[in-house]
Amino acid sequence: MFKRKIYSRLLEWKNTSNGRTALLIEGPRRVGKSTIAREFAGNEYESCIVVDFYEAPAEVISLFDDLSNLNFIFLQLQLIYHVSLRPRKSVIVFDEIQLCPRARQAIKALVEDGRYDYIETGSLISIRKNVRDILIPSEERKIRMCPMDFEEFCWALGDEVTVPMLRELYAAGHSLGQAAHRRVMRDFRLYMLVGGMPQAVDSYLRLTVISGSTI
């Protein structure tokens, strides 16, 4: 799991929302939405249920057709996923929620119930076919996740010094020395070559471990 800046925004949401809103992480595919949601849920809550709608069984999807008995829904989720939920100490993650519009619409009732926190992740959320038959809950707080930026890429390489140093030099009006400039430009060209998709960065790091060298 790579260190991502968005983690602090998730933490800010949890600390300020106190269950009054659900968090929707949206963005392109493969930028790490599911990974960050699962890591955050595991780190910041006593327990969590992750409902991945890409592979969720029909019995899970059908739970959101009738919201008249939330106790039944929570009981079924705990039985299906073998996880005990604790009021105000547990979170339910709806992964790839665009595949189950009824679950997204249910967010209003779930948030009003107030027992648990909710994190949604989804790609292509704004496409009309995914929302045309539902009421979009006003209780959603949306944040957009993008590919890794240069600083996050440096973190993945084990470098937490370069970007803060560049900020300090820029603020002071100083320039880099030639050797440092060459190194930074080499790393930036590497970032441009590998890109910011976590899977690509992971593949590059694995390759460097195998080969024992960098590009």
Q: Where along the chain do its domains lie?
A: 6-144, 150-211
pLDDT at 137: 84
The mean pLDDT of 205-212, rounded to a whole number, is 80
Cα dihedral across residues 163, 168, 171, 175: positive or negative = negative
CA count, 13 A, side-chain hemisphere, 53: 21
Both tokens assigned to 59: 């019995």
CA–CA gap between residue 32 and residue 16 (Å, rounded): 24
pLDDT digits (tens, 9 = 90+) for 27-80: 999 999 999 999 999 999 999 999 999 999 999 999 999 999 999 999 999 999
Question: How sure is the predictor about 129, in pLDDT bands with cuts at 50, 70 and 90?
Answer: low
| Whole-prediction pTM | 0.90
CATH topology of domain 6-144: Rossmann fold (3.40.50)
Both tokens assigned to 88: 């105000």
Say if residues 4 and 170 touch (Cβ distance below 8 Å): no
Question: How sure is the predictor about 214, in pLDDT bands with cuts at 50, 70 and 90?
Answer: low
Q: Which amino acid is at 154?
A: C
Question: How sure is the predictor about 215, in pLDDT bands with cuts at 50, 70 and 90?
Answer: low
User: Residue 210 pLDDT more than 80?
Assistant: no
The mean pLDDT of 199-208, rounded to a whole number, is 93
Which of 76-90, 112-126, 127-141 has the weakest average pLDDT? 127-141
Both tokens assigned to 152: 């996050």
Which of 40-54, 70-84, 98-112, 115-129 has the weakest average pLDDT? 115-129
pLDDT at 213: 61
CA–CA gap between residue 42 and residue 96 (Å, rounded): 18
Say if residues 7 and 36 touch (Cβ distance below 8 Å): yes
pLDDT at 75: 98
The mean pLDDT of 185-209, rounded to a whole number, is 94
Say if residues 171 and 164 touch (Cβ distance below 8 Å): no
User: Residue 103 pLDDT more than 80?
Assistant: yes
Give Cβ neighbours of residue 135 (< 8 Å, ≥ 6 apart).
105, 108
